[in-house]
Amino acid sequence: MPASVLRLLPPTLIDRIAAGEVIERPAAALKELVENALDAGARRIEVAVDGGGIERIEVVDDGAGIAAEDLRLAVQRHATSKLDDDQLVRIGTLGFRGEALPSIGAAARLSLISRTREAAHASALSVEGGVVGEVTPAAGEVGTRAIVRDLFFSTPARRKFLKSVRTEGEAAEAALRRLAFAAPEVAFRLTRDGRVALDLPGQSREARVKALFGPDCAGQLLPLAHARGDLRLDGLVGGPALHRASASAQALVVNGRPVADPLLKSALRVAYRDVMEVGRHAVAALYVRIPAEAVDVNVHPAKAELRFADPDAVRALVIGGVRQALAVPAGRVFMPARPQFRPPAMMPQPRPPGMAAGFAEAALLAPTPSARVVAAAEPAPGAGEHGLGAAVAQVLDTYVLAVAADGSLVLVDQHAAHERLTHEKLATELRAGGVAMQALLLPVVVEMAPDLAARVLAQAAVLARLGLEVEGFGPGAVLVRGVPAVLSDGARMPDVPGLVRDLAEEFAEEGAAVSLERRLDQAVARLACHGSVRAGRRLNAAEMNALLRQMEATPRAATCSHGRPTYLKLSRGDLERMFGRK
| Stretch (H or E) spanning 126 | strand 122-128
Alpha-carbon radius of gyration of the chain? 31
pLDDT given for residue 94 in this prediction: 57
What's the CATH architecture for 11-200? 2-Layer Sandwich (3.30)
Predicted local distance difference test score (pLDDT) of residue 22? 60
Interior/surface letters 385-414, b for 16+ CB within 10 angstroms, e for the rest: ebbbbbbbbbeeebbbbbbbeeebbbebbb
State the Cα–Cα distance between residues 331 and 323, nearest whole angstrom: 18
pLDDT given for residue 376 in this prediction: 34
225/287 Cα distance (integer angstroms): 10
In degrees and rounded to multiples of 5, residue 466 shows phi and psi of -95, 5
CA distance 321 to 147: 42
Architecture of the structural domain at 375-582 = 2-Layer Sandwich (3.30)
* Spans of all domains in the chain: 11-200, 205-326, 375-582
**pLDDT at position 361:** 31
Strand, helix or coil at 462?
Answer: helix
pLDDT of residue 509: 55
pLDDT of residue 559: 78
Contact 484, 428 (CB under 8 A): no
Q: How far apart are CA 535 and CA 572, in angstroms?
A: 27
Determine the 3-state secondary structure of 121 from DSSP. coil
Q: What is the pLDDT of residue 138?
A: 95
pTM exceeding the 0.85 threshold for the entire prediction = no
- Give me the helices (H) in 108-261, please: 156-159, 165-182, 205-213, 215-218
Q: Which residues contact 488 (CB under 8 A, 6 or more apart)?
A: 438, 494, 531
What local confidence, expressed as pLDDT, does residue 284 receive? 95
Q: What is the pLDDT of residue 130?
A: 84
Q: Coil, helix or strand for 218?
A: helix
In 10 A of CB 83, how many CB atoms?
16
Q: What is the pLDDT of residue 109?
A: 94
One-letter amino acid of 62: D
Angstrom distance (rounded) from CA 148 to CA 73: 18
- DSSP element (H, E) containing 260: none
The third-level CATH classification (topology) of the domain covering 205-326 is: Ribosomal Protein S5; domain 2 (3.30.230)
511 bridge partner residues? none
Tens of pLDDT along the chain (582 residues) come to 455 676 665 666 555 555 555 688 999 999 999 999 999 999 999 999 999 999 999 999 999 999 999 999 888 865 555 445 544 444 455 544 557 788 898 889 999 999 999 999 999 999 998 889 999 999 999 999 999 999 988 778 778 888 899 889 989 999 999 999 999 999 999 999 999 999 999 999 999 999 998 877 877 899 999 999 999 999 999 988 788 877 888 999 999 999 988 899 999 998 888 778 777 889 999 999 999 888 887 666 556 678 888 988 999 999 999 988 987 554 443 444 444 433 333 333 333 333 333 323 322 223 333 333 733 334 445 544 567 888 888 888 788 888 887 888 888 888 888 888 777 777 777 677 777 788 888 899 988 877 778 888 888 888 888 788 999 998 788 999 988 776 665 555 667 887 787 777 766 655 443 434 455 566 666 666 666 655 557 778 888 888 888 888 877 778 777 677 888 888 888 888 888 887
Residue 102: CB partners within 8 Å, gap ≥ 6? 15, 19, 75, 76, 77, 79, 127, 130
Distance in angstroms (rounded) separating the CA atoms of residues 81 and 327: 46
Q: How many residues in the chain?
A: 582
